[in-house]
Structure 1
């Protein structure tokens, strides 16, 4: 582990993912964290806690981590890799951060595939239950951060979570290993901090207007796998409903009810209830 991005989501983490990848780092973003390390995060968030050895094992072959849930556990990861450098990515203000978060959640909430994957992709649902929701509760104080797009919530409390996290990083990260950074600053401060040459290309800008989810659904292998599961589950469900409907049509609704009653009576003795 060489680089730990401690900034909250919506502070340019997707841009940093691309930038660090272009600089030659193997990066674990939120999809990789929650897919490849789901069992580990389930243990950390819901069960027996963690040890420094856990993080050493989890990230021994990874160069950089960004986004949730790793950003919240930056300090624990740094204990496992004390030579790693820490980047605290920030927005211009907490109001700007919250506005960006709201826009992202509204955009994501309007994508039908995401809604369907919640129910029809076993992988997506498993990650959501074991890592996504527990991490959201710990970081933001609400189990489903996407709910801010359609339900009333306490904006001041959410901004306080953001400010408290940033203050903790600023107060506790080793100053000689910390870069406070905004992606609008581009390559220069980032490459100087990491001690690498500045690439001869324009600095990336990802997730403009919160469109990253649509892009990832089309290009990211993990999201493509989940979308494929959703399509297969949808096909199986549609086929089952068609067969069931045809069966009901052929046998008659009343006959079906009789069959169900007979089935239950055969399974349970008369005095069971």
Structure 2
């Protein structure tokens, strides 16, 4: 069974988070895919998302689209990872249009794991490869997303939270496959191999190698857009990442706690009702 087939209804008690519950399998492409930003996460992808949205690219997809906006997306990403790395199931243009059909651009992980597949699915899209010094990048990931993968609190809450139960397994699957199950020791070489792979997949005129500190100029020239009169977006610093994740853990625990209280109250109410019926017929 595909992971997406296991989508459960969102509990009505999930009131401490703002997650949506859109089943992308019921969606289709509504706008053309124009930009594939295939650099790995922690290369300025959150800032790039903000920049592309400022330029008018509709619903630029980012890991946060799945992790904190619409968690059911994680199930489809898990299916995509399983199809690519385990050879189980299929994930082609139809599925990409379901998952990303409302988006004109995509960036960050887990999309970067599918550079070849996305380039083949959307051959007319322009490709951006965000890069940074590999040592600086590795250190950043160790303190942020790798910390999130190995966070015992996150693992614990995934046993109870509707959203975390979908996100945590997908995130773990991504690191087990794309980074070969050993990010601390293999991450740097995977990063370097990925950069070379993306370079080999598209002709130079369709590819922009880009460091986020270069600002609007190279990005707008490549995309054929006018430079906005606003500062280039900045976001998702290390400290903010950790604090946001810890806050989300707490809120998901509160959701799960409220659900337990409501379910417990329902069971008590049901027990009292049964007792009342028994008393009536067996007195």
Same fold per TM (> 0.5)? yes
Displacement, 1:113?
6.8
Q: 2:108 aligns with which of 67, 70, 94?
A: 67
Q: Which moved more, 1:228-237 or 1:183-192?
A: 228-237
Normalising by structure 1, we get a TM-score of 0.71
Aligned to 1:126: 166
Aligned to 2:237: 208
Q: Greater helix share, 1 or 2? A: 1
Q: Within 5 A, what are the aligned runs for 1:20-99? A: 20-25=52-57, 26-33=59-66, 35-46=71-82, 47-91=88-132, 93-99=133-139
Q: Alpha carbons of 1:79 and 1:231: their partners in 2 closer, same or farther (altered >3 Å)?
A: same
**Are the aligned partners of 2:72 and 2:166 in contact in 1 as well (CA < 8 Å)?**
no
Normalising by structure 2, we get a TM-score of 0.69
Matched residue SS, 2:163: helix
Q: Alpha carbons of 1:162 and 1:197: their partners in 2 closer, same or farther (altered >3 Å)?
A: same
Q: 1:197 aligns with which of 226, 232, 244?
A: 226
**Are the aligned partners of 1:107 and 1:210 in contact in 2 as well (CA < 8 Å)?**
no
Q: 1:109-168: per-residue Cα shift (whole Å, max 9, x none)?
A: 898974653333122122222x2221111111227x6xxxxxxx42xx221011001110
Query: Paired residues, what number?
Result: 224
- Give ranges in structure 2 of 5+ residues lacking alignment: 1-32, 83-87, 265-283
Aligned to 2:180: 141
Q: Alpha carbons of 1:161 and 1:122: their partners in 2 closer, same or farther (altered >3 Å)?
A: same
Q: 2:196 aligns with which of 167, 177, 180?
A: 167
**Are the aligned partners of 1:113 and 1:227 in contact in 2 as well (CA < 8 Å)?**
no
- Which of the two has higher C-alpha Rg? 1
CA RMSD of aligned residues (A): 3.0
Q: Alpha carbons of 1:38 and 1:104: their partners in 2 closer, same or farther (altered >3 Å)?
A: closer
Displacement, 1:189?
0.4
Matched residue SS, 1:88: strand
Q: 1:87-109: per-residue Cα shift (whole Å, max 9, x none)?
A: 10000x21111111122247658
CA distance in 1, matches of 2:235, 2:77: 26
Q: Within 5 A, what are the aligned runs for 1:205-244? A: 205-215=234-244, 228-235=251-258
Displacement, 1:203?
0.9
Matched residue SS, 2:127: strand
Q: Which moved more, 1:110-119 or 1:24-33?
A: 110-119
Q: Which moved more, 1:69-78 or 1:42-51?
A: 42-51
Matched residue SS, 1:159: helix
